[in-house]
Chain A
Amino acid sequence: MPSAALGQWQTTSHNALAEIEAAHRAVGGHGRGRRYATLQINHAYTVMVSSRFQGFCRALHSAAVDVLATATQPANVAVVLRSALMQGRKLDFGNPSPSNLGADFGRLGMAFWDEVRALDARNDARKDRLEELNEWRNAIAHQDFARVGGRDLLHLGSVRGWRAACDALAISFDRAVGMHLGRLVGRAPW
């Protein structure tokens, strides 16, 4: 059984992203006008994939902290543990970059990326795609494309590739965090 965070990613977030796909298909016309409109949609799609994936990762982290705090006694210590594990959480302010993910989940005692890689060797390449997604997200948000080759040109296929990487990583994150918590508290957390 997946976490509630993964459930939301696979339903609510997928539905929202499907609406962007539908908007892309709905753009009519030909030539430069259509290319400009679809480029703007591709940019919006990129930001949305990144922000939705950030929401998933943040929710997974919240759920993990709740599992650890629930397994901690006395309750006075549990609430202090909650504050310590969440203070300055990078996912509250920053992109779901490999570095931020490793730092936030590392605070739970995980060798995060080692455990994610151990589940599926393809996660190494997906991690690179996640980094690329976040570089594009920043380029679009700041309208500074120097770090992504100096051009704002972005094709739908690229965004779909990043989204597919996020889909696969979400499943591995959910499993890796669940297995780690299971080892810590002695039972499957979800």
Chain B
Amino acid sequence: MTQTDTRVGPAAAGPAPGPARPFWTSRRRDQLAAYLFIAPQMLGSVVFVILPLILVLWYSLHEWNVLAGTFDFVGTDNYTALAEDPNLGAVLRATGLFSVGLVVLNLGLALLLAVLLNQRLRGTIVFRTLFFSPVVVSLVAWTIVWGFLLQDNGGINGLLDTVGVNGPNWLRGEGTAMVSVIVVQVFKNVGLNMVLFLAALQGVPGELYEAAEVDGASRMRQFWRITVPLISPTILLTSIITVVGSLQVFAQISVLTQGGPGTSTTVLVYYLYQQAFQFHHFGYGATLSIVLFAIVLALTVLQWQMRKRWVFHES
């Protein structure tokens, strides 16, 4: 309808030599319409994505003192400071730990739930709804409620108490704090990946399983040899979404632990927020966001390259 014409040939290759050819050919009109249609999105991208990206790069070369109103060019000083930052190692470790924990738990649980709820059993609709419902709950509200549950005298330890277990102080222990934040986030978003997996599972042709059954393949073998290859495009999609999302985690950390105890849950985005908005080092904050950008970009490119190896339809 308004797609850009991509035909190649004399008819579409621009104005043919000859007199009295109107400027507004139907092709040009179509192109104009197409550009006008994408204009709102383009404008949004430019104003809210591309321009800020360029500005962040620019800020990262400056020392910006908000209070004093000074904005001085410092060249690569912020990048030198980055290399010497004693906290960066711990921050990257926490970020990596969170991402790995989240991706493994989230995708594993989502796939398990999807396979279970893909069975023709009574009540699966109810469970699907139950597992999906946290996705539509406000993130901050969800996190605040979990914050109460995870308190030392909160609901979870109360429950553990009834079965005679003395629960740890979840958000205060160096190890348990990270686990708590990951689990809270997994429960929040596992429903979304579950639904994506469910859709993919339902697209797997039933006759493949019947044929495998006839050949005597076990359920496990069917899963690894039929299900996984056929849903691999979805696995790729969900893993990219989850990895990128995990690197951007902020609200949960801000509400539950504020990066503590110590710096055990200070992930990159939270550290960036501290540097820029709490310590007023906007230039250094911008530098950290360039690091984040580079990491996300590298991981996404890597995953995209790897798809040829293990995504079924791509080979």
A and B assemble together: no
The residues of B with any CB-CB pair to A shorter than 8 Å are none
